[in-house]
Amino acid sequence: MTQDDLPAVAAIMARNALWQRYGVTLASAAQRLQRGLENGATIAVAEVEGQIAGFVWYVVEGAFQRSGYIMLFGVAPDAHGQGIGRALLSHAEAALFAVSPSIILLVSDFNREAQRFYQRHGYTQVGALPDYVRPGVSELIYFKSRPV
Ligand SMILES: CC(C)(COP(=O)(O)OP(=O)(O)OC[C@H]1O[C@@H](n2cnc3c(N)ncnc32)[C@H](O)[C@@H]1OP(=O)(O)O)[C@@H](O)C(=O)NCCC(=O)NCCS
């Protein structure tokens, strides 16, 4: 993600029902992404016909300084179901598995679409963090080992 891509990525977050439940706005999403860019975050984007259609923000050894961590991941709501999520996840996995034997990420308990998506891609739930980010919402811990 370059500086030029940032408004489109912030718009994907702000338009998505998932982040709306966490109180994310266009301004707060842009601020978080900006801070990430300034701190050297790794944020990859998917482009379809010149438009930003999705993004993934991942951190090498970002979980327990051992596992790769997928921190933020989303596809524009009108572009779901076209394989963009799969492409972004494959990109992040290639980078993370090159360094770590496993990947960890969090999924909201109500986010069934993402849970199904991750399960299809080989992730299993290994735990849960109740009220971790929002009261009344558990963050489910998903885990995947590097395929042999
Ligand atoms: C989870 C998310 C990233 C998936 O992105 P996506 O681009 O829709 O993902 P894909 O298109 O690769 O796969 C989605 C489904 O479409 C189907 N699909 C994939 N490619 C397809 C194609 N070419 N044609 C038709 N269907 C297709 C797959 O079967 C898949 O089903 P599954 O979810 O049961 O596995 C997306 O739903 C999203 O942005 N959700 C909101 C944000 C979010 O939840 N982020 C994760 C937080 S942890």
CA of 83 relative to ligand 1 center, distance in Å:
6
The residue ranges of every structural domain in the chain are 3-145
In this structure, whether the domain defined by 3-145 belongs to CATH 3.40.630.30 is answered with: yes
**Per-residue confidence (pLDDT) for residue 148, from 0 to 100:** 86
Could you tell me if the CB of 78 is within 6 A of ligand 1? no
- Determine the average pLDDT of the residues in 108-136: 97
Could you tell me if the CB of 23 is within 6 A of ligand 1? no
CA of 72 relative to ligand 1 center, distance in Å:
14
- CA angle at residue 15 from 10 to 17, to 5 degrees? 125
Tens-digit pLDDT profile for residues 94-118: 999 999 999 999 999 999 999 999 9
Nearest to 129 by CA among 148, 104, 100: 104
- C-alpha distance from residue 136 to each of 109, 125, 139 (Å): 10, 19, 10
Question: Any idea which of 15-19, 66-70, 117-121, 136-140 has the lowest mean pLDDT?
Answer: 15-19
Tokens of 120: 């299809």
Could you tell me if the CB of 92 is within 6 A of ligand 1? no
CA of 4 relative to ligand 1 center, distance in Å:
25
Residue whose CA lies nearest to ligand 1 atom number 31: 117
| CA atoms in the 13 A half-sphere facing the CB of 118 | 24
Tokens of 76: 């524009």
Residue whose CA lies nearest to ligand 1 atom number 20: 83
State the amino acid at position 3 in one-letter form: Q
Q: What separation, in Å, do the N-terminal and C-terminal C-alpha atoms of the chain show?
A: 30
- Determine the average pLDDT of the residues in 114-137: 97
**Per-residue confidence (pLDDT) for residue 102, from 0 to 100:** 98
Tens-digit pLDDT profile for residues 40-81: 999 999 999 999 999 999 999 999 999 999 999 999 999 999
